Amino acid sequence: MDVGLRPSESQAEGEEGGMKEARSDSGTQTSSCGVPSFPPNIAARVVGGENAVAHSWPWQISLQYFANGTWWHTCGGTLIANNFVLTAAHCISDSLIYRVGLGKNNLSVKDEEGSLFVGVDTIFVHERWNSFLIRNDIALIKLAKSVELSDTIQVACLPEKDSVLPQDFPCYVTGWGRLWTDGPIAEELQQGLLLVVKHATCRRLDWWGLLVTNKMVCAGGDGVVSACNGDSGGPLNCQAENGSWEVHGIVSFGSGRGCNIPKKPTVFTRVSAYIDWIKKKLQL
């Protein structure tokens, strides 16, 4: 199967100690979501991706696991409540210990101002996750404690249930993944403009064919900009009419032949297809 978007490995700085105290509020979406204190640069529309303005995607998290005495960045994710992170099911392994880095911009900076690391309470992988067919690639991580929202840590909005974006709708994929095929992991958070590809096109046999279902959203496929290894689990950020940013997708898979293959857009789990599932888990 021509899929090759895997969680990546990158050494992540930061100590478990020295975490800031966080409020223990209930795990619900706040009325204020998707509005960063530091607006992202969306004017440049740089082809191939670029460094993001620091903390301009303040719901982006770094999912890290512990091995050989250190923490390693493996996937992205999205803070959608003050104690819940949305990520991909394929990022999760039963055998690993995880923590979540919030408010991060540069993964190599140890005590980055405005950032903190939080342990994990429970991980909810979708009950119908199918790793062979890559179906229902969605998971929710309940944090060990709620975090206090700030200029550097905010929540993204969820899209309206069952909403589908039109062809060529501009969205941004963000993450610390490889910037090009077999390139190094990025230290600073990256953003890349991706245009949504309508389902009928993405399902064409010379695109992704039957691998893509209507619970997925495709974006990119121009042969230039794409999510790559290490962006798995991270958000597809799309701006609503009111200016707030919604997480319409979770990076799920891409082409095993490389990051930027024509007619092989990045495929995302379509968040709007799972709103009921998400809301049910947020109550747990």
CA distance 58 to 50: 17
- Catalytic residue, chosen from 126, 137, 252, 272, is 137
Would you list the DSSP string of 173-226?
EEESSBSSTT-PBPSB-EEEEEEEE-HHHHTSTTTTGGG--TTEEEE--SSS--
Q: Name the CA radius of gyration of the chain, rounded.
A: 17
- Catalytic residue, chosen from 55, 90, 126, 248, is 90
CA distance 190 to 150: 21
- Catalytic residue, chosen from 8, 232, 255, 272, is 232
Please answer whether residues 135 and 119 qualify as being in contact, where contact means their C-beta atoms are separated by less than 8 angstroms.
no
Phi and psi at 77, nearest 5°, equal 180, 175
- CB under 8 Å to 200, separation ≥6 — which residues? none
Residue 105 bridge partners (DSSP)? none
Confirm whether 126 is a catalytic residue. Answer: no
Q: Give the 3-state secondary structure of residue 280.
A: helix
Residue 236 bridge partners (DSSP)? 173, 249
Nearest to 57 by CA among 85, 74, 37, 83: 37
Confirm whether 137 is a catalytic residue. Answer: yes
Distances (CA, A) of 12 to 53, 66, 279: 20, 10, 31
Q: Which residues are catalytic?
A: 90, 137, 232
